[in-house]
């Protein structure tokens, strides 16, 4: 409710995480992918699971554990735990068309192009069905703060940037730029949010 994950991104908090749930296609049909995205400086890692569509509402109503002994954890590491501790609610549904390419030269390497960015406010509802007219496009030059409507290019590698990626960057004169689809969507739908924090470390 206090848009913690939005402000962590907006203020570029060095170590942060956010929750999101994915489905593929225009409508959810069978599986939801709850995910926690962690970030420390420029290093990103994710923890995700798959949940049948009918179990999606149960994530927001955790059951009491029958465990008698306490368990000490270094961090909260499940989608359900973060929902409980942050009283998290769905705020924004983001949709885009992704064109992915996968390299066979390394164990892991992907190049993705994201287009047709749009979103809709969910106002705390866990309902996944929606109407096309509910979507608000925010890939225009004003919302994206650039000269043209953006295509978001991401190069994703496991550790060191491989030679082929460096050659792509040099050949097309690419410059790294931060762009949060979630954060920009929040700004587009709700307007520029005033900070609820007293400190960037909150």
Q: How confident is the model at residue 20 (pLDDT cuts 50, 70, 90)?
A: very high
The token pair that represents 85 in the structure block: 């501790």
The token pair that represents 114 in the structure block: 């994201």
Bridge-partner residues for 202, per DSSP? none
Cα torsion at 118, 182, 160, 107 (round to 10°)? -60
Residue 17 is given by DSSP the state E
**Domain regions of the chain by residue span:** 1-65+75-89, 90-191
Instruction: Please return the burial class of 170, using the count of CB atoms within 10 Å of its CB with bins 0-12, 13-18 and 19+.
Output: exposed
**pLDDT tens for residues 124-151?**
999 999 999 999 988 877 666 666 667 8
Please choose, from the candidates 99, 178, 179, 93, the residue with its C-alpha nearest in 3D space to the C-alpha of residue 136: 93
**pLDDT tens for residues 70-120?**
666 666 678 888 888 888 999 999 999 999 999 888 778 899 999 999 999
HSE (side-chain half, CA atoms, 13 Å) at 56: 22
């Amino acid at each position: 409710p206090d848009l913690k994950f939005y402000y962590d991104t907006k203020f570029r908090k060095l170590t942060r995480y956010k929750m999101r749930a994915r489905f593929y296609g225009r409508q959810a049909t069978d599986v939801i992918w709850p995910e926690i995205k962690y970030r420390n400086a420029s290093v990103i890692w994710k923890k995700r699971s798959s949940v049948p569509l009918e179990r999606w509402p149960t994530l927001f109503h955790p059951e009491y554990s029958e465990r008698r002994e306490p368990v000490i954890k270094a961090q909260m590491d499940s989608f359900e735990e973060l929902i409980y501790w942050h009283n998290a609610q769905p705020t924004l549904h983001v949709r885009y068309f992704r064109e992915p390419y996968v390299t066979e030269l390394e164990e892991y390497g992907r190049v993705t192009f994201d287009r047709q960015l749009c979103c809709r406010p969910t106002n705390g509802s866990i309902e996944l069905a929606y109407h096309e007219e509910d979507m608000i496009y925010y890939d225009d030059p004003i919302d994206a703060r650039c000269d043209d409507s953006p295509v978001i290019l991401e190069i994703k590698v496991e550790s060191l940037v491989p030679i082929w990626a460096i050659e792509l960057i040099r050949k097309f004169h690419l410059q790294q730029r931060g762009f949060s689809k979630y954060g920009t969507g929040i700004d587009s739908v709700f307007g520029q949010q005033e900070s609820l924090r007293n400190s960037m470390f909150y």
